[in-house]
Amino acid sequence: MAECHPVGFQWVMEAKARGATVVHVDPRFTRTSALADLHVPLRAGSDIAFLGGLVNYVLTHEKDFREYVLAYTNAATIVGEEFRDTEDLDGVFSGLDRENRSYDPMTWQYEGAVVQAASGERDQEYEERTEAESTIREAARGEAHGAGGAGVSGEIHTDETLTHPRCVFQILKRHYARYTPEMVEQVCGVPQETFRRVCELVTENSGRERTTAFAYAVGWTQHTVGAQYIRTASILQSLLGNIGRPGGGILALRGHASIQGSTDIPTLFNLLPGYIPMPHAHQNETLDEFVQAEGAEKGYWGNLRSYLVSLMKAWWGPAATEDNDYAFGYLPRLTGSHSTYETVMAQLEGTCHGYFLMGENPAVGSANAKMQRLGMAALDWLVVRDFSLIESATWWKDGPEIETGELRTEDIGTEVFFLPAAAHTEKSGSFTNTQRLLQWHRQAVEPQGDARSDLWFTYHLGRRIRAKLAGSADEMNRPLLDLTWDYPVHGAIAEPDAEAVLAEINGSGPDGRPLSAYTELTDDGSTSCGCWIYCGVYADGVNQADRRKPRTEQDWVAKEWAWAWPANRRILYNRASADPDGRPWSERKAYVWWDGQKWTGHDVPDFEPGKAPDYRPEEGAKGPDALSGTDAFIMQADGKAWLYAPAGLVDGPLPAHYEPHESPFTNPLYSQQSNPVRQVIRHPENRYQPPGSEVFPYVTTTYRLTEHHTAGGMSRWLPYLAELQPEFFCEISPELAAERGLEHLGWATIVTARTAIEARVLVTERLTPLRVGGRTLHQVGLPYHWGPNGLSTGDAANELAPVVLDPNTHIQEVKAMACDIRPGRRPRGPALLEFVREYRRRAGITDETGMEM
């Protein structure tokens, strides 16, 4: 965190100054470790074993916050009889369909009820939920960053004594019993004493009086079990009562200025704004069938119809009417996954002809960067919008394949447009930061030359296309021509008014006035709203994201600085900061509470303001009305934090440790080696390594540096930053340097089944050998910012990575890979290809390697 989110880390230091203990768990010793009380190096790719060990410690030593667990989690809920755990099936869950490499999750459900998922894959029980016929096999999976929400139909059975053998608490106990300190030591390479110390620190610092927070960077997501990493932390934090309370939580430290915003208002294939799923193709599906399948009976997802109809009104205005199902049929339909890696496959297959890159540099930033470039070389046209000539704009001229002779510039048919982008100082707009805070940046100056904002580009592109197709009677053009696309423009370049777009996102009522909360949305077409969770950001016609009351003039929650979704709430599920009766768990940790008439406190309460703690819903109540006065997790169908996830994940209701797809070790926990439903892609340029291969004995992991940013497009061209980190390097321990004859400041070649890259060698004790599975393991650290263009240059670490994905999120595994390392520079030209082929031969790699379940 000190490296990648340095200014955020000042708050960790503030906490430390006030007595907090800081534990840093990371394969490398970094600036964070230097300031932590305890640094725990572990094997990359073993976090579920580590966190599972913590869960086991909490359960065996009865360290859970029992009142919280009983009131706010699903610990007491009884799971259906058909469910079989990894304990019963040696490492897999019931419902595994080996032929289709997927799970049927029906056996994971609660007894007596079918629940809809909080977030993640909500289409998986479509047929059961609608009893409709579907001829299409749904292969699409889930979304990791969801806002949450879930539906339950039927009656949930519970056992408040937590002793029923099929209650969640008992299942959890059995499932994690094998995650002992001995096992943690063997899997993670963390000595038992160190691990016990962490267990003590975390549990001693949790309960009524104290809370513990987990912060992770998105490296947790870049595994074939990424979503399950975060699930394990959720289980632990829920057991310890650390969710919805000040100083608690699981904090995702995200890496781009508005990566949260681009998930909330998603430029993602599987979502519509506000985490409404994109519809899948089903026979004659109506809006109501969709809502029935994807929505929930209880909780705020019960109002999905209002959110969706209001979105359709924002997009299609008067053309969205009750008679045409509010233009629901205008939305294109998914059939499976259409993620960025599938898009590359479609480019290679010749079915995707054109490609827009807007501020992203996949030619060095995505896993198996060569496949990205080959995909682009198969396009008809490519539009790159960026500040400088990044690698994704110039690969046809000077990319690595030109050097090896695999591509010849004269043979590449791709037409390339480079359009310069405007900087944040040259346009107005909002970023959503990692804590869901929308902050407005105001335009300072006009962009020069041809530089334009993406708002300008998208608006004027749409305007031109609409003009060219105007008058067309073709049904295919109806959604485009009916689209609401009139935004006021200003200035010499006709820049669209960003605040007008924000107002559309916020939404308006029947009188055209801005809405102030999503609770005002209706499903009769009288309200419009471009993103329901952002409703209120333009309340009273005021740009709430542009509020800038100085921190010195307000309290520590700083509610009058910018605007947080939803409803300007700074901590989600904060009803859980009070006990079931509505009193703060302790004075020290008071945050929101029931004052006898209403909910009040330091933050905007995440609860219906007038709903008393003793409120119990009437029979048959629906939506928010069905939540009781103690159902703190208001987006969940049962109002509870899920220790066990009966739906929503495609790879199991509980996290289990699986080895990375390419691991030098066999799984000590189960005979199932890797996530059985991980997403593999078969392609000659994407060959996999066999597990346990001696040819690739080391583990490598990628990461960021303070001085550079992601794939380098915004940092490698800057003299200041290039001077601070002038070229690509790898970090290795003195022991590994001795073992392989690597010299400090010399060159190393790092090899995987995909290719070989070279890096300067940094020999440092920041990396330390670990004892894993009875032998010594060396790890190689690779910052991934580089590419051949710009001022600070080097090979791209992502050349090494395979495309193998988390089945929930379709995110690639780049945080734990097996590799070889040797002294000297890599071969050049065609010799590089031969060099890698020789490695493949030695490791016995074929097109079947790594494809097993």
Partner 1 sequence: MRGWLESWPVYRQFRGEDRSGRGESAMSRRTAELRPRVGTADRVVKSVCPYCAVGCGQDVFVKDEKVVQIEGDPDSPVSRGRLCPKGSASLQLTTGSARRYDVLYRRPYGTEWERLSLDEAMDMIADRVIEARERGWQWEEDGARVRRTMGFASLGGATLDNEENYLIKKLFTALGAIQIENQARI
Between residue 4 and residue 33, which ones bind ligand SF4 under the rule CB under 6 A? 5-7
Cα 817 from chain centroid? Answer: 20
Residue 592, SS3 per DSSP: strand
425 binds ligand SF4 (CB under 6 A): no
Shortest separation between residue 312's beta carbon and partner 1, angstroms: 11
Give the shortest CB-50-to-partner 1 separation in angstroms: 24
Q: How far is the CB of 430 from ligand SF4 (least distance, A)?
A: 15
Nearer CB in complex with ligand SF4: 24/43: 24
Distance CA 481, CA 594 (A): 51
Q: Which stretch binds ligand SF4 (CB under 6 A): 1-9, 401-409, 539-547, 601-609?
A: 1-9
Of 534, 585, 607, 698, the one binding partner 1 (CB under 8 A) is: 534
Between 271 and 836, whose beta carbon lies closer to partner 1? 271
Could you give phi then psi for residue 526, rounded to 5 degrees? -90, -10
What is the end-to-end Cα distance of the chain in Å, rounded? 35
Residue given tokens 């026979």 in the structure block:
283
**In the complex, minimum distance from the CB of residue 438 to partner 1, in angstroms, rounded to a whole number:** 7
Across 482-493, b (16+ Cβ under 10 Å) vs e yields bbbeebeeeeee
Nearer to partner 1, 667 or 715 (CB): 715
Name 101's Cβ contacts closer than 8 Å, sequence gap at least 6. Answer: 676, 677, 853
SS3 content of the chain, % helix, strand, coil (to 5): 30, 15, 55
Could you give the angle at which helices 304-316 and 287-294 cross, rounded to 10 degrees? 140
Over its C-alpha atoms, the chain yields an Rg (Å, rounded) of 27
Query: Site mask, partner 1, residues 303-342, x = CB under 8 A?
Result: ------------x-------------xxxxxxx--xxx-x
Stretch that binds partner 1, among 82-90, 230-238, 423-431, 692-700 (CB under 8 A): 423-431
Q: Is 720 in the site for ligand SF4 (CB under 6 A)?
A: no
The tokens for 310 are: 């209001």
Interactions with ligand SF4, residue window 588-627 (CB under 6 A): none
Q: Which of residues 805-844 bind partner 1 (CB under 8 A)?
A: 809-812
Span near partner 1 by CB under 8 A; candidates 23-31, 363-371, 507-515, 815-823: 363-371
User: Would you give the DSSP letter of residue 842?
Assistant: H
CB of 720 to ligand SF4, least distance (A): 13
Q: Which does 459 bind (CB under 5 to 8 A by kind): partner 1, ligand SF4, none?
A: partner 1
Question: If binding is defined by CB under 8 A, does position 429 make contact with partner 1?
Answer: yes
Q: Which of 790, 802, 807, 850 binds partner 1 (CB under 8 A)?
A: 790
Sign, CA torsion 737/738/739/745: positive
Residue 5 vs 611, nearer CB to ligand SF4: 5
Site string for partner 1, 441-470 (x = CB under 8 A): xxxxxx-xxxxxxxx--xxxxx-xx--xx-
| 383: partner contacted, choices ligand SF4, partner 1, none (Cβ within 5-8 A by kind) | partner 1
**Displacement of CA 210 from its chain's centroid (Å):** 28
Alpha helical stretches, state H, 337-377:
340-349, 362-365, 369-377
Residue 513: which of partner 1, ligand SF4, none does it interact with, CB under 5 to 8 A by kind? none
Written as one letter, the residue type at 395 is: W
Asked if 288 touches partner 1 (CB under 8 A), the answer is no
User: Minimum CB separation from partner 1 for residue 390, in Å?
Assistant: 10
> In sequence order, which residues have a C-beta less than 8 Å from that of residue 371 and are 6 or more positions away?
344, 348, 683, 685, 686, 803
Using CB under 8 A as the binding rule, whether residue 263 contacts partner 1 is answered as: yes
Q: How far apart are CA 167 and CA 162, in angstroms?
A: 6
The Cα 35–Cα 13 span in angstroms is 8
Which residues ranging from 465 to 494 are in contact with partner 1 (CB under 8 A)? 465, 468-469, 476, 479-480, 483, 485
Residues 6+ apart with CB under 8 A from 642: 73, 74, 118, 234, 238, 636
Kindly report the backbone phi and psi dihedral angles of residue 469, in degrees, each rounded to the nearest multiple of 5, phi listed first. -100, 0
CB of 405 to partner 1, least distance (A): 16
Among 286, 288, 418, 670, binds partner 1 (CB under 8 A): 418
Q: 365-394: which residues touch partner 1 (CB under 8 A)? A: 365-367, 380-381, 383, 385, 387-389, 393
The residue within the footprint of partner 1, chosen from 98, 353, 682, 825 (CB under 8 A), is 353
E strand segments, 566-637: 592-594, 599-601
Q: Which of residues 116-145 bind partner 1 (CB under 8 A)?
A: 134-136, 145
Cβ atoms of 801 and 750 closer than 8 Å: no
Site residues (vs ligand SF4, CB under 6 A): 5-7
